[in-house]
Amino acid sequence: MVQLGHLVTTTFGSMSTIVVEGGRSLSGTVGILGAKNAVLKEMVSALLAPGRHRLANVPSIVDVELMCQVLEHTGCKVDQGEGELWVVVPEELRPEAPIDLVRQMRASIVVLGPLLARCGVARVALPGGDDLGSRPIEWHMSGLDQMGVSFELVHGELVGSIDGKLKGTEIELPFPSVGATENLLFAGVLAEGETVIVNAAREPEIEDLIRQLTEMGADISGGGTSLVTIRGVEALHPVEHEVIPDRLEAGTFAVAAAITNGDVTITGCYPDHLRMELRKLEDSGCDVERGDGWLRVKGPDRPTPVDFSTLPFPGFHTDMHPQMVALLSLASGTSVVTENLYDARFRYVGEMARMGADISIEAQHAIVRGVDRLSGCPVLSPDIRAGAALVLAALRADGVTEVGGADHIDRGYQDFAGRLAALGASVERS
Catalytic residues: 130
**Three-state secondary structure call for residue 30:** strand
DSSP state of 310: B
φ/ψ of 163, rounded to 5, equals -100, 100
Per-residue b/e over 179-207, b at no fewer than 16 CB within 10 Å? bbbbbbbbbbbbbeeebbbebbbbbbbbb
Written as one letter, the residue type at 68 is C
**Three-state secondary structure call for residue 46:** helix
> What one-character-per-residue DSSP string does 208-271 give?
HHHHHHHHTT-EEE-TTSSEEEEE--S-----EEEPPB-HHHHHHHHHHHHHTT-EEEEES--G
Query: Among residues 149, 148, 143, which one has the least CA distance to residue 174?
Result: 143
The answer for residues whose C-beta is within 8 angstroms of residue 129's C-beta and 6 or more apart is: 104, 105, 106, 107
Strand residue runs (E) in 332-411: 334-338, 358-362, 365-369, 378-380, 400-404
Contact 35, 246 (CB under 8 A): yes
What is the enclosing helix (H) or strand (E) of 167? none
Length of the chain: 430
